[in-house]
Amino acid sequence: MEEIKIMIRAALERGENMHSVVESLINAGYNKEEVTRAANEILYEKREKKEEKEVKIEKKEEKKEKKIKFNFSLIPNILSILFLLYSLLIFIFNYKNYLTLVWILFCLLILILNIFLFFKINKKIILVLSVFIFLCFFVFNVFIYKNNFLDVMKILISKEKKFILIAIILAYVFHILVFLF
């Protein structure tokens, strides 16, 4: 019987299927019962090996899931949110004109996009929206301030205005960094 098993295994390794191997051995004069019993034992061994492999793979996957994966994109996202919250609070409590609303709106929109990043929403869509919002905001400010644009930006960087533009720029930079991780 071991001899039959060896022949069946050799034929299977060459790529033949089990049914044709069994028929060939029976046609060659080997006992039909011994051939079928040997074939069934080989199939049983194969199933056991396959099940063992599947169990090992499942255990490896469980171990991978148990390992805590730190998402490095959280760091720039959280920093961006903090800078945006700082900017929003400064704008809301210290500025009282209609142009301030545009700055508040910009900060709010980017803040909302940052929050959406926590929910595994498609990063490409959020990146496109971020760039679009930034460009609209930038064009609006250039259009409103015209020749005074750089002077206004210098004022917003100053200590008297609590470095608010720097906070907004840092928030946007960290927001964009999220997409690199």
Query: CA 151 to CA 15: how far, in whole Å?
Result: 79
pLDDT tens per residue, range 5-42: 888 888 888 888 888 888 888 898 988 888 899 888 88
Does the pLDDT of residue 67 top 80, yes or no?
A: no
What is the predicted pLDDT for the residue at 154?
80
Rg (alpha carbons) of the chain, rounded to whole number: 34
CB 80 within 8 A of CB 171: yes
Report pTM: 0.54
What is the predicted pLDDT for the residue at 66?
60
Query: CA 174 to CA 110: how far, in whole Å?
Result: 11
Q: What angle do CA 137, 115, 71 make, to 5 degrees?
A: 120
- The residue ranking higher by pLDDT, 69 or 3, is 3
114-121 long-range contacts (CB < 8 A, ≥24 apart) are: 114/77, 114/80, 114/81, 114/84, 114/175, 114/178, 115/81, 117/73, 117/77, 117/178, 118/77
Query: CA 51 to CA 44: how far, in whole Å?
Result: 11
pLDDT tens per residue, range 71-113: 666 888 888 889 888 888 888 887 777 777 788 888 888 888 8
